[in-house]
A = this chain, B = another copy of it.
Amino acid sequence: MQIDPIFQVAQEAFLFYKTLSGKEKGDFLDKIADILESQRAEIVPLAVRESNLPEGRINGELGRTTGQIRLFANLVKEGSWVEATIDPALPDRSPLPRADIRRFLTPIGPVVVFGASNFPLAFSTAGGDTISALAAGCPVIYKAHPAHPETSRKVAECIHQALSASNLPAGIFTHVEGGIAEGQALVQHPVAKAVAFTGSHGGGMSLFQLANQREEPIPVYAEMGSVNPIFCFPNKLSNEMGALAKAFVGSLTLGVGQFCTNPGLLFVPANQAKAFESVLIEELKGIPAAPMLHSGIAQAYYDSIQHLESQGELRWIKVADPKHLLNGSTALAEIQVADWLKDKLFQKEVFGSFALVVVYQDVAELSEVARQLQGQLTITVWAETEELQSQVSLINLLEEKCGRLLFKGAPTGVEVGNAMQHGGPFPATTAPNSTSVGVYAIKRFARPIALQDMPQDLLPDALKDGNPLGIWRRIDGNLTK
């Protein structure tokens, strides 16, 4: 792979692309969405074949992908995301006059994006990372996930068609295939200014360390999954055992458990554990076995479970059947909270539909659990209102350990919107102050610059007097439009 030319065209494209208006970038993004929709009939079968995921899911995922693209298109067309902030000159201020200072967000430069295996569309070639970087004004060098090469090539073609139809340079998006070495070389190239990744802890951390060892360190936005604990409180559980079991099993088995927000820990009161487990087993009977994304993932799933099976602390409720390796059948095991607290192994994500039921004797034990809990994408609390009221300090602790805290439903099904936070304290991500889903994802790929006493005609429209873009701006500290 010739890597220098890739970054050379990306850098050249960047210096042009960053000068486009929000309208122009938004139209380009919309064009990508249009072309993807128009080629749905070709894209979906490819992704189904390469992911083992059912057609309904992939159809939905394509809709999610184009919906996400249009969300970012609208965001940049509207334009207020650049945080335009103006402190006008105060020439007569004493003892010193104030210069005219105007700040806004500017794109950081070419970004390396790694595709995820579990979302061949929504977190891959034209997925959230690529689109939020393009929306910010950054060219993308996209490293395709080897699990779905043809889907990736096809979607890359669509992006290139959109570039061409928009008269934009091809260097704005480059599709790269290869293995670990190629991915590392991309991260190490001096022109790269940030990295976005969704995948395993090992993969994310190796890129993170590599990026920090560069002559110029660059940020790595790695979303590395988590075990997404659910805390069941006694009254809630006795009042809604059936519904909660349905919600839990649905979330656990959705997409054969291959979601970053898959719930892998379920905290249950001791005197209800047996009954709840029976309902769970009953509920699981209705879930047909389904193939995992690829044999490597299935193998890792069974290996992880085998390793856990050697732990004496676990009592197995339902054992995954490795006879048909690719079918990632659900596994459930029970552990006492005292044993769970002893070993961080029990907080390690098992990618697939496995969960640990952690049995506690007393709600008071959950504070220690919260203290020892590692950073999570999500934490869910199932409790009646009156149970919550006495748990303010537990909630306070749990907030420190997650990016999203839920009080109803299950953590899977990450809404793409304005308020979504898909991220969380380490080890869920390497950048807890960022999100990889929702409109704020764009901020990862921009940095502030202040322009001091810049002549009006050189200023970007976002900062010109008279607010030609009609965006929200902070002038002398006050938001105004």
Report B-chain residues with C-beta under 8 Å of the C-beta of A392. Answer: 458
Given A418-B85, A419-B103, A430-B217, do A479 and B472 touch, yes or no (CB 8 Å)?
yes
CB distance A458 to B388 under 8 Å? yes
- Kindly state whether residue A15 has any CB partner on chain B within 8 Å: yes
The residue of chain B having its C-beta at the shortest distance from the C-beta of A194 within the complex is B433
Annotate A207-245 by CB proximity to B: 1 below 8 A, 0 otherwise: 011001000111100000000000000000000000000
CB distance A87 to B419 under 8 Å? yes
Query: In the assembled complex, how far is the CB of residue A122 from the closest CB belonging to chain B, in whole angstroms?
Result: 15
> In residues 398-419 of chain A, which contact B (Cβ within 8 Å)?
399-400, 402-409, 413, 415, 417-419
> In residues 402-448 of chain A, which contact B (Cβ within 8 Å)?
402-409, 413, 415, 417-421, 423, 425-427, 430-433, 435, 439-440, 443, 446-448
- Kindly state whether residue A127 has any CB partner on chain B within 8 Å: no
Query: In the assembled complex, how far is the CB of residue A262 from the closest CB belonging to chain B, in whole angstroms?
Result: 16
Stretch of A36-44, A93-101, A170-178, A335-343 contacting B (4+ beta carbons < 8 Å): A93-101
Given A96-B413, A432-B108, A432-B447, do A418 and B87 touch, yes or no (CB 8 Å)?
yes
Report B-chain residues with C-beta under 8 Å of the C-beta of A212. Answer: 208-209, 212
Annotate A453-481 by CB proximity to B: 1 below 8 A, 0 otherwise: 11101100000000000001010110100
Report B-chain residues with C-beta under 8 Å of the C-beta of A408. Answer: 99, 452-453
Interface size of A by Cβ–Cβ distance < 8 Å? 79
- Kindly state whether residue A184 has any CB partner on chain B within 8 Å: no
Query: In the assembled complex, how far is the CB of residue A187 from the closest CB belonging to chain B, in whole angstroms?
Result: 14
Report B-chain residues with C-beta under 8 Å of the C-beta of A439. Answer: 477
Alpha-carbon distance between A407 and B450 when the two chains are bound, in angstroms: 11
CB distance A405 to B477 under 8 Å? no
Which of B86, B218, B405, B448 meets A449, CB within 8 Å?
A: B405
> In residues 263-297 of chain A, which contact B (Cβ within 8 Å)?
none
The residue of chain B having its C-beta at the shortest distance from the C-beta of A423 within the complex is B448
Query: In the assembled complex, how far is the CB of residue A19 from the closest CB belonging to chain B, in whole angstroms?
Result: 7
- Give the number of times this chain occurs in the complex, counting copies: 2
Given A449-B404, A454-B407, do A87 and B385 touch, yes or no (CB 8 Å)?
no
Which of B86, B106, B402, B405 meets A454, CB within 8 Å?
A: B405
- Kindly state whether residue A80 has any CB partner on chain B within 8 Å: yes
CB distance B448 to A403 under 8 Å? yes
- Kindly state whether residue A397 has any CB partner on chain B within 8 Å: yes
- Kindly state whether residue A102 has any CB partner on chain B within 8 Å: yes
The residue of chain B having its C-beta at the shortest distance from the C-beta of A104 within the complex is B419
Alpha-carbon distance between A399 and B18 when the two chains are bound, in angstroms: 11
CB distance B402 to A101 under 8 Å? no
CB distance B448 to A385 under 8 Å? no
Q: Given known contacts A103-B418, A421-B449, A472-B479, what 16 new A-B pairs fall within 8 Å (CB)?
A: A15-B397, A85-B440, A98-B415, A99-B406, A101-B420, A109-B400, A212-B212, A216-B375, A219-B431, A219-B433, A388-B458, A395-B458, A406-B452, A432-B447, A433-B443, A433-B447
Pick 9 A–B contacts, CB within 8 A, sort by A: A18-B396, A103-B418, A216-B426, A405-B449, A405-B452, A406-B453, A418-B477, A421-B448, A423-B447
